[in-house]
Structure formats: C-alpha cells, structure tokens
Amino acid sequence: MGQKRQMDRQERTLSQRDLNRREFLRTSGLGAATLIIGGTGLGTGGCGVGTLPNSSGSLVLPAQPDSPRGLAVALEVVLRATNSDTPVLTGPSTRTSTYQATVLTGEVGDASALPGSYLGPIIRARKGQRVRVRLINELSEATIIHWHGMHVPADMDGHPRYAIEPGEEYVYEFEILDRAGTYWFHPHPHRRTGPQVYSGLAGLFLVSDDEESAAGLPSGEYDVPLIIQDRQFDANNQLVYGAGIVGFDGFLGDRVLVNGQPSFNLDVATRSYRLRLLNGSNSRVYKLAWDDGTPLQVVATDGGLLETPIQRDYVMLAPGERIELWADFSAYALGSEIVLRSLPFSGGDIGMGGMMSGMMGGMMGGIGGALLPNGAELEVLRVRVETEAEATQDLPPRLSSIVRYRAEDAVNGTSPRVFAASSAMMMGWRLNGRTFEMDAVAANEIVNLNTLEMWELVNATGHMEMMHPLHIHGVQFQIMERSVLPSRAAGWETVRYGYVDEGWKDTLLLMPGERAKILLRFVDFSGAYLYHCHNLEHEDQGMMRNYLVQA
Ligand code: C2O
Ligand code: CU
Ligand code: CU
C-alpha cells in the first residue's frame, strides 16, 4: 500500500512540476526557443521511490522536489558559457572557455570580471537575497553549473543529469541561505568536468552577511580573490590536456597560474589584506607558506569565517578548497617581495613500490611522467610591496560564531556511515567499490531530512592509496577527528599541521592511509546531491556517487 501511494504522489508531483515550469517560463519572459531543463529525464523508469534495487545493488532515484518561490529576485545574471581566445602568454593567444556575465537585475558590480583574466566572473550577493542565473550553453558540448559549497535545492545544484546541450538554457533561482564566504562555481557534466574547468570555466560566488561586515576585515581593494591553478601549454601557447598527460594522479601541469595569469604579481600597500585563496586546480594539492617564515593567519575556510584567527606555519589547500588569509604587509619596506610557496611534502604518490608504481604509470598514461608531481616545491604567488599606506587594520580577535555539532546528537553517532575510497585495478577510483550511476543511489546513500549524521571518510584500504580531496554537495560539515594508518604516518606528518579543520568545510583532503569523521546536517531540501573526489580526473573517471536526502 505504501508503495502504491508513493507512486501516485510521485506522478502528481511530476505533472504539477511541469506545469510550474511552464508557468515560470512564461512569466520570466523567455522565448519559445528557450528550453528549461530540470525534472525531466529523471531515473523514474522503474517504478517506486527508492525501492527497486538494480543489478549493482543501487536504488532508482525519485523525482526532485520543486524549489520554493516567492521572494523577489535581487540579482539576475546571464552567464554565457562560451569559447574564447585569450592572450595568456606572449605570442599566439590561447583557446579557452569562459563565462561571460551580463547583469539584468542588480548592480553592475554584482557580477564583475576578474581583471585581465579568462576566469570568472565574480558574483557577489548577500545572504537572504534571491538570485536568478541563466546559463546559456554556447560551448560545443553539454554543460551545467554547480555552485560549490552552497546550500541550494537539489534541482538548482548542477547535478550532471541536468546538463544542457549547446544552444540550451538552464535557469537557476535560489535564495542565498549560506553564511558569508568564498564559494565558487564550475561545470559539472559527467566525464567532462575536468576538461571544462581546465579550459577556463570557473568563477567565484562571494557571499556577504552582517556578521562578516561586523568582523572588521580588510575590504574593497584590500580584499583580493586569488584562484590558483596549474596548467601546461604547448609550443603554440595552447593548453595541453588529455591522454598521456592525465595519469593516475589526474592532471598535473608544469606551471602555476593565479587568476588565469602566468607570473602573477600582487602589488600591495603597506597594510593588511584579506586574501581569498581558491585551489581551482584539477588535481594539484598545495602546501602553502610565506617564504620569509612569517606564519599564516587563517581567517576563513570553505564555509566562511572561523570563530577566531588561527595561526599556521603552512596550510594545505586541495582542489576545491578555499582558505582565507589575513596578511599584513605594513612592516615591509617599499620594494620588498614576499613569495607564497608550495613546500614539498610526501605521500602525494600512490603507496606502492617504485617499480609497481612505474609500471602503473606507464599503463595509465604516466604517473611518473609529471614534470611537477604533487608534493613538488613551487612558487605560487609573488607579493610586491609597492605603495605606502596611510593606515592599516589590525587582525580582529573575534571573527564569527560557529555552533558546534555534537556527536551525541547524531542519529548514528555510534556507527558512522562509512564511505571509503577504493580502486578497481586499471579501471579508476571508486567510492565503496561503486562507480558513478546517474540516476541511482545505494541503500547506504539515503539519509533523512532534518537529521544530523556522522560520516566516516576513509582512504585506507591498505594498498594503492593516494590523495583524495572528498567533497560533499549541498552541505557544510564539521570535521571531528582524523587518523592515519601507522604505515603512512611519515607522509602524513609532512602535511597534518597544515589542516584547518576548525571551521565549516565542504571539501576535505584525505592523505594516503588517512580517515576522518565528520558531522553533517541535512536541512531544507530533499532530493539527490553528489559526493565525490574533487580531483577532477578521479571524479570524471567515476569517483562520484549520489546521496539522497529523503523527506
Ligand atoms: Cu566543486 Cu561537485 O564540485
Ligand atoms: Cu560542490
Ligand atoms: Cu581522488
């Protein structure tokens, strides 16, 4: 009986939903040629809601719920994903892809270009505002945008099943529920996220709120976003990506670009700055430190401000992660230079013997081949102290308040849900032995709305571990604890003091042999979200799964 009623309800929801969408299409004045996808093509080919196991032990996903509507739209932006030619190096320009933004409603500065860059734009909005973004696909392949770190309805989250074909449009509309922070957006079509991000599709979504305004951090020109990405160019200045370059490690370039620019220099005044760092690289992990030994003052992580600043000698920054630094250049003489470097660390390679690893590299297209392997030392950002500032701002002792989740409040605090990185010989990385399935979840991937859960993320199968930055869509979580296999402790020691686990996180680096317990709460929205490795090549190879929030 339960099942039949569920089916009826689902059918109603689907047709009601289609009506809503047609209505929306009319009232938002889109032409007949415009297509709004979402809610169609769902995996409802079976029947029933999360009850039919398929051959691999997974369950078919139900339809997505509708997003709530009501609040007036404060910001409406058109983002055209399009191919472009950009001068990046001296000589021939580089074929890139980019998002071109037009603000329809709101202030022009609400979607501003990243100066001199094919990356971007930077979208700025305030908590509580309603935002509409129209993605128009002018690429030659399917795409979709995901708002990394943001808490939006499932059908607004950029799941690959909503990918749109060239010429089509996807209209996002959501209220900003997240606290102030450095969020970002990038493509999420299955198997093509890596190449699309690599070609230049990535932007920042900076959310502000009252708590942040009250914190007293440097703002305006003293608040600087820095997107760090490694790239490789051929003799003709074209980006290199593909077979032979993408190995077991994913893609590792031979040079670092900041904000899409090679040899990026940040010219500063003798005062304090807020530096918002995003690791937008496909696979490279950085261990960041100032070259003069000045400790880093960390003020924010993925999900916004920490409670108080935290001092570190170095910080780890894995693909997808953000970290914000308060950096004070007031004591430096004019003309001095300070360099943010990535320091060497170990454990970035597969935990196998050298011979085995070399063999594997050959077969997978070259792990040993990277000119600059993960863990190699490199220069990331050169800061030049150029002008005298009249005043500076002190580091605020208190930044925000964070409500701590408690393990005893979790519905499964004594038996966390385990998600383990695993690999199938020569067939890529998996999660709990499963590869990505567009329309399915496994029984252990269904959680209940309005519950706090404990998850244990594991990268310790005992062989062939490598770094995996694991990312969960739709939530910000809190990290409770980490541990490592004794056999991999030596590598871990070279990175562990650079973790900043005190704040809100959506991406967590797991080194070889490492495991972590996290607490996360599912609120507001039911539907299917993703969790995956944010090494984009691992993700594209299937190290991604759905999880279902069930009302
Ligand atoms: Cu930044 Cu699913 O990704
Ligand atoms: Cu995400
Ligand atoms: Cu991975």
Domain spans in the chain, listed from the N-terminal domain onward: 64-208, 220-387, 407-550
The minimum-distance atom of ligand 1 relative to the CA of 149 is 1
The residue whose C-alpha atom lies closest to atom 1 belonging to ligand 1 is: 148
Q: Are 179 and 211 in contact (CB under 8 A)?
A: yes
CA atoms of 367 and 371, how far apart (whole Å)? 10
What DSSP element (H or E) covers 92? Answer: none
Q: Give, as one character, the DSSP assignment of residue 47.
A: -
pTM for this prediction: 0.88
How remote is the CA of residue 266 from the centroid of ligand 1, in Å? 28
Ligand 1 within 6 A of CB of 132? no
How remote is the CA of residue 471 from the centroid of ligand 1, in Å? 7
Peptide bond into 486 cis (omega under 30): no
Question: What ligand is nearest to the CA atom of residue 322?
Answer: 1
By CB atoms closer than 10 A (0-12, 13-18, 19+), residue 408 is: exposed
Mean pLDDT across the stretch 338-360? Answer: 67
Mean pLDDT across the stretch 49-54? Answer: 34
Could you tell me the CATH superfamily of domain 407-550? Cupredoxins -  blue copper proteins (2.60.40.420)
Q: Which two tokens stand for residue 279?
A: 């690791």
CA atoms of 396 and 390, how far apart (whole Å)? 19
Question: What ligand is nearest to the CA atom of residue 285?
Answer: 3
Reported as a single tens digit per residue, the pLDDT across 255-296 is: 999 999 998 999 999 999 999 999 999 999 999 999 999 999
Per-residue confidence (pLDDT) for residue 59, from 0 to 100: 75
Reported as a single tens digit per residue, the pLDDT across 452-461 is: 999 999 999 8
pLDDT at position 518 over 70: yes
Question: What ligand is nearest to the CA atom of residue 535?
Answer: 3
The minimum-distance atom of ligand 1 relative to the CA of 184 is 1
CA atoms of 58 and 307, how far apart (whole Å)? 40
- Mean pLDDT lowest for which of 16-25, 65-74, 118-127, 202-211? 16-25
**Local structure of 195: helix, strand or coil:** helix
Ligand 1 within 6 A of CB of 17? no
Ligand 1 within 6 A of CB of 151? no
The minimum-distance atom of ligand 1 relative to the CA of 544 is 2
Ligand 1 within 6 A of CB of 471? yes
Query: Which among 551, 536, 471 is positioned nearest to 157, based on CA atoms?
Result: 471
* Phi–psi pair at 131, nearest 5 degrees: -125, 140
Query: Which among 61, 68, 70 is positioned nearest to 41, based on CA atoms?
Result: 61
Q: What CATH number has the domain spanning 220-387?
A: 2.60.40.420
Q: Are 298 and 311 in contact (CB under 8 A)?
A: yes
Ligand 1 within 6 A of CB of 479? no
CA atoms of 169 and 416, how far apart (whole Å)? 40
CA atoms of 531 and 60, how far apart (whole Å)? 17
Q: Are 135 and 187 in contact (CB under 8 A)?
A: no
Single-letter amino acid code for the residue at 491: G
Query: Which among 75, 444, 286 is positioned nearest to 433, based on CA atoms?
Result: 444
> Is pLDDT larger for residue 366 or for residue 45?
366
Per-residue confidence (pLDDT) for residue 63, from 0 to 100: 57
Ligand 1 within 6 A of CB of 532? yes
By CB atoms closer than 10 A (0-12, 13-18, 19+), residue 449 is: middle
- ∠ CA 500-501-502, rounded to 5°: 100
How remote is the CA of residue 529 from the centroid of ligand 2, in Å? 9
How remote is the CA of residue 541 from the centroid of ligand 3, in Å? 10
How remote is the CA of residue 530 from the centroid of ligand 1, in Å? 8
Pick the CATH number of 64-208 from 3.40.50.300, 2.60.40.420, 2.40.40.20, 3.40.50.720: 2.60.40.420
The residue whose C-alpha atom lies closest to atom 3 belonging to ligand 1 is: 148
- Strand pairing class (337-342; 428-431): unpaired
pLDDT at position 417 over 70: yes
pLDDT at position 40 over 60: no
Binned at pLDDT 50, 70 and 90, residue 465 comes out as confident
| Beta-ladder partners of 469 | 509
pLDDT at position 191 over 80: yes
Ligand 1 within 6 A of CB of 312? no
By CB atoms closer than 10 A (0-12, 13-18, 19+), residue 390 is: exposed
Binned at pLDDT 50, 70 and 90, residue 23 comes out as very low
Taking CA atoms, 503 is separated from 319, 387, 403, 478, 499, in Å, by 18, 34, 10, 7, 11
Ligand 1 within 6 A of CB of 188? yes
Q: Where are the beta strands (DSSP E) in 243-370?
A: 255-258, 265-269, 272-279, 286-290, 296-301, 304-312, 315-317, 322-328, 337-342
- Strand pairing class (265-269; 378-387): parallel
Dihedral in degrees, nearest 10, Cα atoms 30, 31, 34, 37: 40
CA atoms of 469 and 476, how far apart (whole Å)? 15
Ligand 1 within 6 A of CB of 530? yes
Q: Return mean pLDDT, the chain.
A: 86
How remote is the CA of residue 472 from the centroid of ligand 2, in Å? 6
Ligand 1 within 6 A of CB of 124? no
How remote is the CA of residue 121 from the centroid of ligand 2, in Å? 18
Ligand 1 within 6 A of CB of 473? yes
Binned at pLDDT 50, 70 and 90, residue 108 comes out as confident
How remote is the CA of residue 321 from the centroid of ligand 3, in Å? 14
Per-residue confidence (pLDDT) for residue 377, from 0 to 100: 95
Per-residue confidence (pLDDT) for residue 25, from 0 to 100: 34
Dihedral in degrees, nearest 10, Cα atoms 432, 433, 436, 441: -50
Question: What ligand is nearest to the CA atom of residue 430?
Answer: 3
Question: What ligand is nearest to the CA atom of residue 144?
Answer: 1
pLDDT at position 160 over 50: yes
Per-residue confidence (pLDDT) for residue 231, from 0 to 100: 96
CA atoms of 90 and 93, how far apart (whole Å)? 8
Ligand 1 within 6 A of CB of 454? no
CB atoms within 10 A of CB 401: 8
How remote is the CA of residue 24 from the centroid of ligand 2, in Å? 26
Q: Are 80 and 136 in contact (CB under 8 A)?
A: yes
The minimum-distance atom of ligand 1 relative to the CA of 532 is 2
Ligand 1 within 6 A of CB of 148? yes
CA atoms of 274 and 221, how far apart (whole Å)? 9
pLDDT at position 429 over 50: yes
Backbone dihedral region for residue 116 (phi beyond 0: left; psi -120 to 50: alpha; all else: beta) = left
Ligand 1 within 6 A of CB of 284? no
- The DSSP-derived string for 345-398 is -S--S-SS-HHHHHHHHHHHT-STT-SS-TT--EEEEEEEEEE--S---PPPS-
Query: Is-same-fold flag (64-208; 220-387)?
Result: yes
**Local structure of 445: helix, strand or coil:** helix
